[in-house]
Amino acid sequence: MTEYTDQERDTIRTAAFGAMTLVSAADPGFFAMFKESLAASKALAGSSGVVKEALTKGGIPSLPKSSVADVEATVLPALTQSMTILSSKAPAEADSYRATILEACDKVAAAAGGVAEKETAEIAKIRAALG
C-alpha cells in the first residue's frame, strides 16, 4: 500500500469533499443540499484505495465559509495537487480518484431532479483541475 504524508492525505481529502461542496453550492437550496449530501455519500460508499482511505480517515476538512470563490480558490488547486501526488506515488490510484470524484459530482448535481447550468459549469472547473 502506498504511504502518504498527513499533508498529502489532507490535500486529497480536502479536494474530494471540496469538489462535492462546490457542486452543491452552485445551485443551493435546503432540500437540494440534503439530497445532494445523500447522493455524495452513496457515490463514495463504494470507493476503494486512496479515495476510501482519504474519506474515511481523518475528519471532514475545513473549507472556507465566506464565499464559493474562496472555496474554489482552495479546492481547485487541491484537486490538481492531489492528481500530482497520486500520479507520482500510485498512478493507478490517480485514474480511480479522478473517476470517483467526477462520478460523485455528477450524482450530486443530478440529485435534486436535474442538473443546473451552474452545476455543469462547476463540474467543468473540477474536471479541468483534475486534468
Q: Structural domain tally of the chain? A: 1
| pTM listed for this prediction | 0.86
- Domain residue limits at 105: 6-56+66-130
Q: Which amino acid is present at 22?
A: L
**Structural domain contains residue 61:** no
Amino acid at 74: T
Give the closest residue to 40 by CA, choosing from 126, 88, 129. Answer: 126
Say if 114 falls within a structural domain: yes
Q: For 100-110, what is each residue's pLDDT tens digit?
A: 899 989 988 88
What are 84-104's pLDDT values in tens digits? 999 999 898 899 899 989 998
Confirm if 43 and 55 have CB atoms less than 8 A apart. Answer: no
